[in-house]
Amino acid sequence: MEGKMWAAVLHAPGDLVYEQVDIPVPGENDVLIRVKACGVCGSDIPRVLTTGTYHFPTIPGHEFGGTVVETGKNVDPAWKGRHAAVIPLIPCRTCRACERGAFAQCEHYDFLGSRSDGGFAEYVKVPKDNLVFLPEGMNPETAAFLEPVSVALHVIQNNQVHFGDDVAVFGLGAIGIFVAQWAKAFGARHVFAVDLDPQKTEIAKKIGLTDAICGSKEDALRVILEKTGQEGVDAAFEASGSGAAFNQALAILKAEGRLGLVGRPAGSLEIRNEGFEKILRKQLTIRGTWSFEFKRFPHHAWELALSALNEGKILTEPLISHRLPLEKTMDAVRIMADKSEFFHKILIEP
Ligand SMILES: [Zn+2]
Ligand SMILES: [Zn+2]
């Protein structure tokens, strides 16, 4: 498909321009996707405003999906017209990390939306192996959620949530609220979803996280202790990047408890002395999670995420605070940077 398309193009940190560029030409093993929706990720804020992409100009946006409109020579032409989510990570498949299926640790990866052009555009060129087709009847907009839902699944799998566990999640941005929903889907008894923002805790309650706690109105630790017979939780997740939440998560864990970290740090972290001591005495495990998995064995994480979305075990619709056209991409970034109005998940719909 020759011609021009509209895109939000990053020319330098802070310089995101809505402009016309050439429609990308798919290679032999690629497809061309007409983007239906692309989520704005928390990581897009520094990427667009301060740190930049790996080179310029680049089109950011890595949480997206849409419709296959063109297929390369080695791709089944019958794929045309199908709706798919896009896995933005393109691993080299030859380095040591890739050999063991740890694609998120690839040493020479490409990434749509930071190293190559991504989803804040009408069209994106995508390798055929990076598509996850949506089942018949699923809203194609949902494709934009597959990436954060898969990241959240990775967090749960790295830290293991078992049937009957009590769980606390600090920070109810997109990743945190998906971690909380996954914890429920994995059979947790109580899922204490904690956020300082009353609107976010209300949304959490509405989607079935009935133990959600607004940390600015209630003493979260006291409530959790009350509801767990003063025991605390088996697993805690820090999804806000705040040092205060990190210390709260440590404080609320049982002996042998597991602390999963996924929130990008808002600053340096000071661990209080009693927390430091507790890590030793109570033999706590602290584990970080980066990105998502997508090796095929034993389960393709994105396929699991898709099933959970399709079966309604993970809900996305109530999390959408804004649907904005492509020309408003910079406005979306500003809303998230300045916190000038309430936002949860902002979707760009080119
Ligand atoms: Zn992201
Ligand atoms: Zn690799």
**Can you tell me the ipTM of this complex?**
0.96
pLDDT digits (tens, 9 = 90+) for 64-85: 999 999 999 999 999 999 999 9
The CATH number linked to 115 is 3.90.180.10
Four-residue CA torsion sign, 245, 277, 179, 296: positive
| Res 227: pLDDT | 98
268 with 329, same domain: the answer is no
163 with 249, same domain: the answer is yes
Ligand with smallest separation from the Cα of 42: 1
Which of 273, 288, 303 is the C-terminal boundary of a domain?
Answer: 288
Ligand with smallest separation from the Cα of 149: 1
Which of 270, 288, 306 is the C-terminal boundary of a domain?
Answer: 288
Residue 195 lies in a domain: yes
Give strand ranges (E) for 56-156. Answer: 63-71, 83-86, 89-90, 110-111, 123-127, 131-133
The CATH number linked to 218 is 3.40.50.720
52 with 116, same domain: the answer is yes
State the amino acid at position 176 in one-letter form. G
Closest CA to 170 of 266, 68, 247, 61: 247
CA of 88 relative to ligand 1 center, distance in Å: 10
pLDDT digits (tens, 9 = 90+) for 194-205: 999 999 999 999
265 with 169, same domain: the answer is yes
**How many domains are there within the chain?**
2
- Burial pattern 298-307, b for ≥16 Cβ within 10 A else e, equals eebbbebbbe
236 with 339, same domain: the answer is no
38 with 99, same domain: the answer is yes
92 with 128, same domain: the answer is yes
157 with 125, same domain: the answer is no
| Res 1: pLDDT | 84
CA of 36 relative to ligand 1 center, distance in Å: 17
Residue 300 lies in a domain: no
88 with 187, same domain: the answer is no
CA of 295 relative to ligand 2 center, distance in Å: 12
| Res 245: pLDDT | 96
- Low-confidence residues in the chain, pLDDT < 50: none
- Backbone phi and psi for residue 337, each to the nearest 5 degrees, phi listed first: -75, -45
Residue 308 lies in a domain: no
Residue 306 lies in a domain: no
Residue 43 lies in a domain: yes
276 with 192, same domain: the answer is yes
User: Helix crossing, 243-252 with 220-227: angle to 10°?
Assistant: 20
129 with 165, same domain: the answer is no
State the amino acid at position 340 in one-letter form. S
125 with 19, same domain: the answer is yes
The answer to whether 239 and 262 have CB atoms below 8 angstroms apart is yes
CA of 178 relative to ligand 1 center, distance in Å: 13
Ligand with smallest separation from the Cα of 173: 1
CA 140 to chain CA centroid, Å, is: 17
Query: Domain span at residue 168?
Result: 149-288
CA of 179 relative to ligand 2 center, distance in Å: 27
CA of 84 relative to ligand 2 center, distance in Å: 24
CA of 231 relative to ligand 1 center, distance in Å: 34
Query: Hunting for tokens 């109580």 — which residue is that?
Result: 190
